[in-house]
Structure 1
Amino acid sequence: MRKVWIVILMMGVFALQAQEHISVLESNPLLQTKQKQMLKMRMASAVALPFLDDFSYNSYFPDNLLWEDSAVFINRSYPINPVTIGVATFDGLDANGMAYDISASTQAQRADSLTSRAIDLSVVDSAYLLFYYQAEGLGDNPQTEDSLVLEFLTGVDTAGLPVWKHIWSIPGQTTQEFQRMEFNIVGANYLHAGFRFRFRNYATLSGNYDHWHIDYVKVDEYSSGQIPDLNDVAFVYDNPPLLKRYREMPWTHFVNYESVEMVDSIDALIRNNEAGLSVDYRYNIFENNLLIDAFPGLGWRNYNIQDYSTIGNFSHNPIVLIDDSKFISTQADTAIFKMQHIIKTTPTDNKNNDTLKHYQKFNSHFAYDDGVAEFAYGINVQGAKMAYQFHLNKADSLRIIQIYFAPMQN
């Protein structure tokens, strides 16, 4: 088998012996496209109950019909065992993905915020706020001087500036399971048509440090003397890779090597959050908007899925097979296949997190990564070299190398 080795010269500080190291990023390039990708902000009337955001949408930015300002990063790659797919991550980067202050010390300072739009609570006698949080995850763990903070808007001062009341906070910690928090909302200060709340974090401002992740934020009427269970079955992570070695590869290197390059089974994890046990599952594969394969056939596979507190995330058993012979295209040089995972649950289940979509692209390049960088890699010696290996299934020419060089301090 042919192989390509890419040797990269890594310039760094002088050292007697080369050492590899993993560093926290000082920027997030995905957020630097915010102005291009954000939908035009629409000023809306107060949000009606229930207010619910599980961050399951496929965007790096929060829903601007629910949130009025934000510097958080919506993603599926940082959390460990999220309640549902997608979280909002707080760090030391601003809304454009750059460090708030590249020269800042490690002392914790005010960083990101996530502020709700006005929520109409004038029609209820009491309400509640529910959310889940996790420190660190697969990111950087916040230190004890760092914190995650919740505040409620109580009014304005004599200068017309908003007055926020501290409701809750927690100091930095190492990662653990997502923790559920519940708060009753009562009193004339809050039960009106303009109720707002916000999350903030304190972090090191010189980079992508001190991560907190929040999930499943909900405000609703408090009735029957208790805050209800989530009653939600959801996917947990993004679509599992379809290729054994790469996230993307050239179509011309895939054709005739399908069984070598493609996985033979796939496992899209499912989590039951206090919902019914009976869950139906299927996947569809499309090419040029035409259905070319489905599992299982034209029907559904039914599962009996116990609650997360009992079994954790549910892994498909028996395994879900992938038929590599179905991945064919009339295109000579490129192909794109859309894979769609679907779960079918009770009508009252939150439907936002019941479908996964993934576009498997075969163009002219090889890529190992998923396009989301969590950390930076380096070698701390002048003149150091590293090699990247790619296996070729046929003779070819190397024309372009794309590398993201993360901004770093000396």
Structure 2
Amino acid sequence: MIRALYLITISLLCFEISAQERITPLTYDLAKKKDTEERSFVLQTRTSQVVELPFIDDFSQDHFPGNQDGNTVLWDDLNATIHTSFGIDPPSLGVAVFDGMDENGQPYDDVSTSSNGHADVLTSAEMDLEGKLNVVLSFFYQPEGYGEAPEPSDSLVLQFYDPTFDTWTNRWHATGTAAGPYIPVFLSVGETYLQNGFKFRFRNYGRLTGALDQWSIDWVYLDENRSIDDEAIADVGFFSQVNSILSSDYVSIPWTHFTPNASQSTIIQKDVVLRNNRTAGALISESGYTVEFDGSEIASFTDSQSPSIPAESNEAITQEINLAPNSFVFPTNVSDTTAEFEVEFEFQTSPDLNPDNNRMSFKQTFKNYYAYDDGQADNAYGIQNFNGAGRVAFRFDILETDTVKAIDIFFLYQGGAALEDQLYFLTVWEESSGGAPSDIIYQDFQPRQVEFNMDGGFVRNVLQDTLVLEGDQNYFIGWVQPDNTSLNIGNDLSAQMNSQRLYFDIGNGFTPSSYEGTIMIRPVFPPLEEPAIVGIHEGQLQEADVWPNPAREVIRIRGDFPQGSMARLFDLKGRMVASENILFNDTRMDVSFTSEGLYLLEISAPTGARSIKKIVINR
């Protein structure tokens, strides 16, 4: 499958950037599960087909079973994942990633955290090699990438299939190490395998508990009349993904915020990066792009300049967008509320071994939210090890004055109930003259429980009060959390906004993040749809009898609560100031040390049910 954003994480393994910030590798992937389910009918009904030579897959397009693009199916299974931002300087856009997560987005072993064994497998379709001469299989591989490095005891293995004896034989392997440049491998296919029904497969050995001990491969190429001494690929392809042609860093902005200043919001020029894998320079004879809306082409532009790309190197070629003679701006008369356009870049060169990678497309989406992330979460971000309340804030540049209605957040499910017990307060700050968060202009008056979209995706959190944000102003949007457990928000590594926009505070004031990527949080404006809205979990427990209220020294809590229930008192900044285990039907909580003011008393059961009451401390 092509990797989508709906990823799930586990906190058993993490990398700490500092004592306060951390990232967590992936263990569950709900989107992969959904994708496999959607392809399952094709997998059940597809008849085995023999693939003609040359066999070429650089993973710039989807050639997995059940793909929706009508591409030739080159592989028999779905364990590996196609990813456009995982490899470090890959030979082309898109790589196949191997780890310890299966085709259903689950760890191969979800019981033992130290389990090792054979994990992902990627098996080619059958080929007829009978009578072929000088057959060579080549590919590039890289351990770790932007993921987790395999250990020296881990391995990536290539096996050949002998249809006569129905056996698989190891032909090549590499042992685990840290990331380096992609390494080319050229192998002869011996006479034993020159049969009808030949196949090959890649397998990785490592931990079976998620996205760990990772490898990636690229540019798999098998054909006759080749030499293992060539060690070069006569091809040029796109190198990196483009996700937007807006003039800002946004991937998406609200349609009603785009249309008043559409021309200013469309970029003037856009650089697209190509990779020349030839041993000689490559001339790009033509390049350009097309734009479609609702399945119909609305714009097409061609650049007849002929830039040259040096041998075995990357080169950016500039495409004119909102600049004469193209002067393209997304048309604003196609819709009143939302719009989505498909933009495809392409080029021509000769010789050209793989025309598949001469095109690259993305969807420019205008709905009702701002987004810097492109929808592909690569790991989880969070803060931990702090006293009091922790704060996370991400800066947004608001284009038009409007009422923000909700905040979409992608908290990542861990496969258990640990995070479901965590609370947080959505918070919005103004920007200080120094560029950091300053005064709070909105904060939830009731805490929220961390919730997850179990179908994969963002969860919409409707604001608890009216908040108007001014146009041409910057605001920080995030949360305050009373507990020092990482809440694990999705983090997209293809966009590098954290270093410019993300701040955290663990009690010593706001500090810029030291972690790359872009956390997945989006402010939402009218019109407001109704998907997966988070509620405040009140009324799920028997209503507590709490007195006195106002209180001075002690709060008494009476009610018939399940064993293991807990009472926690929060101030309006989201800080937990007191807690008591509810051991009897009449529980006392000492509040003598607290300051006067309004507080929130939360009573929670082990099941996750909870009740919240406002408490006034007055002396």
1:164 and 1:202 map into 2 onto residues whose CA distance is 16
Matches within 5 A, 1:214-363: 214-223=217-226, 227=230, 229-243=232-246, 244-258=248-262, 261-274=265-278, 277-279=282-284, 280-288=286-294, 291-295=297-301, 298-308=302-312, 312-316=313-317, 319-323=318-322, 326-330=329-333, 331-346=335-350, 348-363=352-367
2:401 pairs with 1:401: no
SS for the counterpart of 2:256 is helix
Structure-1 residue corresponding to 2:153: 145
Q: Deviations over 1:321-350 (max 9, x none)?
A: 331861222111112222121111126431
1:387 and 1:286 map into 2 onto residues whose CA distance is 36
| Preserved CA contact (<8 Å) 2:129 2:196 | yes
Matches within 5 A, 1:89-238: 89-106=97-114, 108-155=116-163, 162-187=166-191, 189-223=192-226, 227=230, 229-238=232-241
| Preserved CA contact (<8 Å) 1:81 1:313 | no
Please, which moves more after superposition, 276-285 or 100-109? 100-109
2:250 and 2:303 map into 1 onto residues whose CA distance is 31
Alpha-carbon distance change, 172 to 261 in structure 1, aligned in 2, over 3 angstroms: farther
Q: CA deviation at 1:223?
A: 5.0
Please, which moves more after superposition, 236-245 or 65-74? 236-245
Among 359, 363, 366, the alignment partner of 2:370 is 366
Alpha-carbon distance change, 258 to 106 in structure 1, aligned in 2, over 3 angstroms: farther
Please, which moves more after superposition, 61-70 or 330-339? 61-70
- What TM-score, normalized by structure 1, do the two folds share? 0.84
Alpha-carbon distance change, 58 to 255 in structure 1, aligned in 2, over 3 angstroms: farther
Among 40, 43, 51, the alignment partner of 2:55 is 51
Q: Deviations over 1:366-406 (max 9, x none)?
A: 22211111111122258534234433322123145242323
Structure-1 residue corresponding to 2:33: 32
**Count of paired positions:** 384
Paired amino acid for 1:74:
I
Q: CA deviation at 1:173?
A: 1.5
| Preserved CA contact (<8 Å) 2:51 2:126 | yes
SS for the counterpart of 1:32 is helix
Structure 1 gap ranges (5+): 1-11
Divergent runs of 4+, >6 A: 59-64
1:299 and 1:335 map into 2 onto residues whose CA distance is 27
Structure 2 gap ranges (5+): 1-10, 13-17, 419-619
- What TM-score, normalized by structure 2, do the two folds share? 0.57
1:269 and 1:37 map into 2 onto residues whose CA distance is 33
Paired amino acid for 1:405:
L
Q: CA deviation at 1:81?
A: 1.9
1:406 and 1:265 map into 2 onto residues whose CA distance is 39
1:48 and 1:325 map into 2 onto residues whose CA distance is 41
Structure-1 residue corresponding to 2:88: 80
2:203 and 2:228 map into 1 onto residues whose CA distance is 29
Percent identity, aligned pairs only? 32
Q: Deviations over 1:249-284 (max 9, x none)?
A: 210112224466444331111011116621122122
2:277 and 2:249 map into 1 onto residues whose CA distance is 33
Structure-2 residue corresponding to 1:390: 396
Alpha-carbon distance change, 258 to 203 in structure 1, aligned in 2, over 3 angstroms: farther
Q: CA deviation at 1:183?
A: 0.8
| Preserved CA contact (<8 Å) 1:60 1:73 | no
| Preserved CA contact (<8 Å) 1:251 1:363 | yes
1:225 and 1:321 map into 2 onto residues whose CA distance is 41
SS for the counterpart of 1:134 is strand
Q: CA deviation at 1:292?
A: 4.8
| Preserved CA contact (<8 Å) 2:234 2:351 | no
SS for the counterpart of 1:376 is strand
1:287 and 1:108 map into 2 onto residues whose CA distance is 48
Q: CA deviation at 1:217?
A: 0.9
1:67 and 1:126 map into 2 onto residues whose CA distance is 23
SS for the counterpart of 2:35 is helix
Per chain length, whose mean CA-contact separation is higher, i.e. which structure has more relative contact order (CA < 8 Å, sep 6+)?
A: 1
Structure-2 residue corresponding to 1:4: none
- Structure having the higher Rg: 2
| Preserved CA contact (<8 Å) 2:258 2:265 | yes
| Preserved CA contact (<8 Å) 2:255 2:338 | yes
Paired amino acid for 1:322:
I
Q: CA deviation at 1:211?
A: 1.5
SS for the counterpart of 1:195 is strand
Paired amino acid for 1:40:
V
Q: Deviations over 1:70-92 (max 9, x none)?
A: 30001111012221211110011
SS for the counterpart of 1:34 is helix
Q: Deviations over 1:282-323 (max 9, x none)?
A: 12233445555554xx54232111112xxx21122xx43331
| Preserved CA contact (<8 Å) 1:334 1:364 | yes
Alpha-carbon distance change, 300 to 100 in structure 1, aligned in 2, over 3 angstroms: same
Structure-1 residue corresponding to 2:496: none
Structure-1 residue corresponding to 2:502: none
Q: CA deviation at 1:155?
A: 5.0
Bigger strand fraction: 2
Alpha-carbon distance change, 214 to 224 in structure 1, aligned in 2, over 3 angstroms: closer
Matches within 5 A, 1:55-66: 55-58=59-62, 65-66=73-74
Structure-2 residue corresponding to 1:7: none
1:278 and 1:325 map into 2 onto residues whose CA distance is 26
Q: CA deviation at 1:359?
A: 1.2
RMSD: 2.9
Q: CA deviation at 1:18?
A: 7.4
Paired amino acid for 2:414:
P
1:69 and 1:167 map into 2 onto residues whose CA distance is 20
